[in-house]
């Protein structure tokens, strides 16, 4: 779709990539918040955040562009608690910023607060959460991402498709660039104010995200190759290298042979490692079992101390290979988070040299029992995993018989306690014999626990950034930096006919 066609569909000025008004400026956001706060005249508590975002995308299939768009949006989220003894907040969202609409939003939130039957968290029952300053140090804005115009995106995809067609292959892919900004301001009830820094206030913050992924297929349907990468900075993404890798994977995976399922030594490329490890990290958002329950299906629940009558977790115990550390630092240049967050107040290490060192908390536990040593309340998002210095070529050369796996898909957990999961291999699996790749093999279904795999590591590669799909527009990307792994006795339970 041309930029002129997009302009007719979306309105004047919506597709001008050089137009700075794709995002509201700091001054415009401050003006909107100030006017909205003026309408909250009867005391109480008011929290207002404004989000503005822009997104450009291009999708193609069978070597033909199927979608091109360039769009933007704004949203104001407002919470209001009326000063009549209630603690339930009324919540309203709007994208209309004239005075009439802003006042209507404030009055609507007040009505919801007064009518709410649920007392909510009960702010008087809990001490306030600690207040953390905004994260500093990690770059999260890229002009290369923000300046990638409709025309530039079209030329990139055109060159990719030409590379694929030159090999007589077909391709499908998706390119997306995104930018967003936010500003929040809150006023708290005087009796709850404990510091001069309101936890609801934030600075004007901007961030960008970019991603490119593609699959190349043999027209005969006998081979498939995939490659992709995501980053806040488009300058870190090499479209030609991604296309070349996907083409090479496709050509090498044609005409696969059937191989018996079983336990194999497996070399998991970094993308496959990230997808497998995510099964484990997704369960680390809560350390406690259900309230008043002695049973839990959490893999991190150890049991009840019968003498102290307390639930115990596996914190402090070795759970994986001692060479594995999984952590996140908001100041990491490749893993930064743009938003100040009560979930991520600073650097956090979940697994330190194989030992479980951190888990998330329920809200009530966090503010009551753990005040003063608050670390993490939400799930693991961005993370860095430690590695080694072995290349994939070295792993192959030291393997007598095994499999090389490009990536995994359709993963689902079968048993939460053991983290036993199942899924499919995708876009290239090869048999290794006597230190050399000998043939492409058909895809498998695997049934394995990441805990088992991470306790059977033979070699680790150098950690590298991998592809992770973008979340909703108002949230930063969730990057991961992981190594390739050589793992023994990885379980493949059946063959899959799909390419």
DSSP state, residue 247: H
Tell me what pLDDT residue 112 has.
87
Q: Are residues 106 and 194 in the same domain?
A: yes
Residue 15 pLDDT more than 50? no
pLDDT confidence bin for 120, thresholds 50/70/90:
very low
How many CB atoms lie under 10 A from the CB of residue 166?
Answer: 9
Residue 291 pLDDT more than 90? no
Q: Return all residues near 425 (Cβ < 8 A) that are at least 6 apart.
A: 272, 405, 406, 407, 408, 409, 443, 444, 446, 492, 496
Q: Are residues 323 and 396 in the same domain?
A: yes
Q: Are residues 261 and 357 in the same domain?
A: yes
- Is 360 within a domain? yes
Token code pair at residue 56: 């450009």
Return the closest-CA partner of residue 200 out of 183, 217, 222: 183
Q: Are residues 309 and 412 in the same domain?
A: yes
Tell me what pLDDT residue 341 has.
52
Q: Where are the alpha helices (DSSP H) in 141-238?
A: 143-146, 150-166
Q: Where is the domain boundary, 190, 208, 226?
A: 208
Tell me what pLDDT residue 114 has.
80
Pick the more confident residue, 312 or 182: 182
Q: Which whole number is the average pLDDT over 91-116?
A: 90
What CATH number has the domain bearing residue 77? 3.30.2290
Do residues 243 and 164 make contact, with C-beta atoms less than 8 angstroms apart? yes
Task: Calculate what percentage of the chain has a pLDDT beyond 70.
Answer: 77
Q: Are residues 263 and 203 in the same domain?
A: no
The overall average pLDDT reported for the chain is 83
- Is 244 within a domain? no
Q: How far is CA 267 from CA 145, 217, 322, 418, 437, in A?
A: 33, 23, 19, 22, 12
Q: Where is the domain boundary, 208, 226, 247?
A: 208
- Is 165 within a domain? no
Lowest mean pLDDT segment, chosen from 224-233, 264-273, 301-310, 451-460: 301-310
Tell me what pLDDT residue 135 has.
60
Q: Are residues 20 and 125 in the same domain?
A: yes
Tell me what pLDDT residue 414 has.
96
Q: Are residues 95 and 18 in the same domain?
A: yes
pLDDT confidence bin for 191, thresholds 50/70/90:
very low
Tell me what pLDDT residue 253 has.
96
End-to-end CA distance of the chain: 31
Residue 462 pLDDT more than 70? yes
Residue 290 pLDDT more than 70? no
- Is 217 within a domain? no
Q: Which whole number is the average pLDDT over 102-122?
A: 76
Predicted confidence (pLDDT) per residue in 299-330, tens digit: 988 877 677 667 778 889 999 999 999 998 87
Tell me what pLDDT residue 472 has.
67
- Is 311 within a domain? yes
**Across 194-281, where does the E strand assignment appear?**
202-217, 224-231, 262-268
Q: Are residues 136 and 268 in the same domain?
A: no
Q: Are residues 488 and 351 in the same domain?
A: yes
pLDDT confidence bin for 35, thresholds 50/70/90:
very high
Q: Which whole number is the average pLDDT over 340-346?
A: 56
pLDDT confidence bin for 7, thresholds 50/70/90:
very low
Q: Are residues 195 and 264 in the same domain?
A: no
pLDDT confidence bin for 475, thresholds 50/70/90:
low
Q: Which whole number is the average pLDDT over 468-472?
A: 78
- Is 88 within a domain? yes
Q: Return all residues near 376 (Cβ < 8 A) that are at least 6 apart.
A: 343, 344, 348, 358, 359, 360, 361
- Is 168 within a domain? no
Predicted confidence (pLDDT) per residue in 140-156, tens digit: 899 999 999 999 999 99
Domain range for 197 is 3-146+177-208
Predicted confidence (pLDDT) per residue in 433-457, tens digit: 999 999 999 999 999 999 999 999 9
Q: Are residues 315 and 190 in the same domain?
A: no
| pTM, entire model | 0.85
Cα dihedral sign, 29-34-40-43: positive
Q: How many domains does the chain have?
A: 2
- Is 240 within a domain? no
Q: Are residues 201 and 303 in the same domain?
A: no
Residue 169 pLDDT more than 50? yes
Pick the more confident residue, 27 or 287: 27
């Amino acid at each position: 779709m041309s930029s002129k066609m997009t302009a007719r569909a979306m309105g004047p000025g919506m597709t001008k990539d050089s137009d700075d008004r794709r995002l509201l400026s700091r001054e415009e956001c401050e003006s909107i918040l100030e006017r909205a706060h003026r309408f909250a005249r009867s005391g109480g508590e008011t929290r207002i955040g404004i989000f503005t975002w822009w997104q450009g995308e291009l999708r193609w299939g069978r070597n033909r562009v199927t979608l091109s768009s360039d769009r933007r949006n704004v949203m104001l989220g407002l919470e209001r608690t009326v000063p009549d003894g209630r603690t339930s907040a009324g919540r309203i969202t709007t994208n209309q910023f004239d005075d009439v609409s802003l006042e209507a939003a404030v009055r609507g939130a007040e009505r919801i607060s007064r009518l709410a039957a649920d007392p909510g968290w009960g702010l008087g029952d809990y001490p306030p959460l600690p207040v953390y300053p905004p994260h500093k140090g990690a770059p999260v804005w890229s002009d290369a991402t923000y300046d990638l115009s409709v025309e530039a995106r079209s030329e990139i995809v055109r060159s990719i498709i030409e590379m694929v067609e030159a090999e007589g292959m077909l391709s499908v892919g998706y390119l997306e660039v995104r930018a967003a900004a936010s500003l929040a301001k809150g006023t708290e009830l005087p009796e709850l104010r404990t510091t001069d820094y309101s936890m609801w206030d934030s600075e004007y913050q901007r961030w960008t995200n970019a991603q490119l992924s593609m699959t190349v297929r043999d027209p005969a349907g006998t081979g498939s190759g995939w490659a992709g990468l995501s980053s806040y900075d488009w300058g870190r993404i090499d479209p030609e290298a991604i296309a070349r890798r996907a083409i090479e994977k496709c050509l090498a995976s044609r005409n696969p042979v059937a191989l018996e399922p079983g336990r194999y030594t497996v070399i998991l490329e970094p993308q496959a490692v990230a997808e497998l490890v995510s099964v484990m990290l997704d369960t680390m958002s809560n350390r406690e079992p259900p309230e008043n329950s002695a049973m839990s299906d959490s893999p991190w629940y150890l049991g009840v101390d019968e003498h102290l009558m307390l639930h115990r977790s596996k914190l402090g115990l070795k759970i994986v290979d001692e060479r594995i550390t999984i952590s996140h630092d908001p100041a990491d240049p490749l893993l930064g988070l743009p938003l100040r967050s009560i979930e991520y107040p600073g650097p956090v290490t979940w697994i330190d040299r194989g030992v479980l060192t951190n888990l998330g908390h329920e809200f009530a536990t966090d503010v009551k029992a753990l005040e003063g040593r608050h670390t993490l309340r939400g799930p693991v998002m961005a993370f860095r995993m430690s590695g080694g210095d072995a290349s994939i070529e070295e792993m192959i050369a030291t393997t007598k018989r095994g499999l090389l796996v490009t990536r995994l898909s359709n993963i689902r957990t079968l048993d939460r306690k053991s983290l036993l999961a199942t899924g499919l291999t995708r876009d290239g699996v090869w048999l290794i014999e006597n230190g050399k790749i000998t043939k492409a093999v058909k895809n498998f279904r695997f049934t394995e626990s990441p805990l088992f795999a991470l306790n059977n590591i033979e070699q680790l590669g150098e950690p590298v950034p991998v592809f992770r799909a973008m979340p909703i527009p108002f949230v930063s990307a969730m990057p991961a930096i992981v190594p390739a792994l050589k793992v023994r006795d990885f379980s493949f339970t059946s063959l899959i006919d799909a390419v």
